[in-house]
Amino acid sequence: MQVILIQDVNNIGGANELVTVKNGYARNYLIPSKLAIEASPSNLKQLQERQKQLVKKEEKLLAEINSVITVLQSSPLKVGAKTGTSGKIFGSVTSVQIARAIKEQKGYEIDRRRITIIDDVKELGLYKAKIDFGKGQEIEVEFEVTAE
């Protein structure tokens, strides 16, 4: 029996997916648990429409991510840190500081958990951080540590 999954089901498939399962499994478990619906012609049309909408949303999201990437790579960020007389910084530069600098200087709010600092930041200078947007979209952003 063919069913359309409403939610992800382990070892069967993901949401909005057309799968073939045994009749008893579909009638006794999947459909009563509201994990799937029967694959009737009208339900198949609704599935196709949902998939078209998901594709449009994904394309729009990718276009937005690409515009954010171009803005972030246009110029290095400036991150302030307290320093000693020799140019070494006290403490370290964290992803929270980089996220705050992106919000203040570029106008985009990026979750600090998506930011990974590549180099050890011990002194003033130019360093790189990696930002993961998901779906394979990953960029390197330069930031400059300056004295406060």
How high is the pLDDT of residue 81? 87
Listed in sequence order, the DSSP H helices in the chain are: 23-25, 41-72, 95-105
How high is the pLDDT of residue 43? 93
pLDDT in tens, the chain (148 residues): 999 999 999 999 999 999 999 999 999 999 999 999 999 999 999 999 999 999 999 899 888 888 888 888 888 889 988 888 887 888 888 899 999 999 999 888 889 999 999 888 888 889 999 999 887 788 899 999 888 8
How high is the pLDDT of residue 82? 87
Give the domains, in start order, of the chain with CATH numbers.
2-68 (3.40.5.10), 75-147 (3.10.430.100)
pTM of this structure: 0.66
Token pair for 33: 């648990």
Measure the CA–CA gap between 77 and 51, rounded to whole angstroms. 39
Measure the CA–CA gap between 41 and 103, rounded to whole angstroms. 48
Please count the other Cβ atoms lying within 10 Å of the Cβ belonging to residue 144: 15
Percentages of the chain per state (helix, strand, coil), in multiples of 5: 35, 30, 35
How high is the pLDDT of residue 6? 93
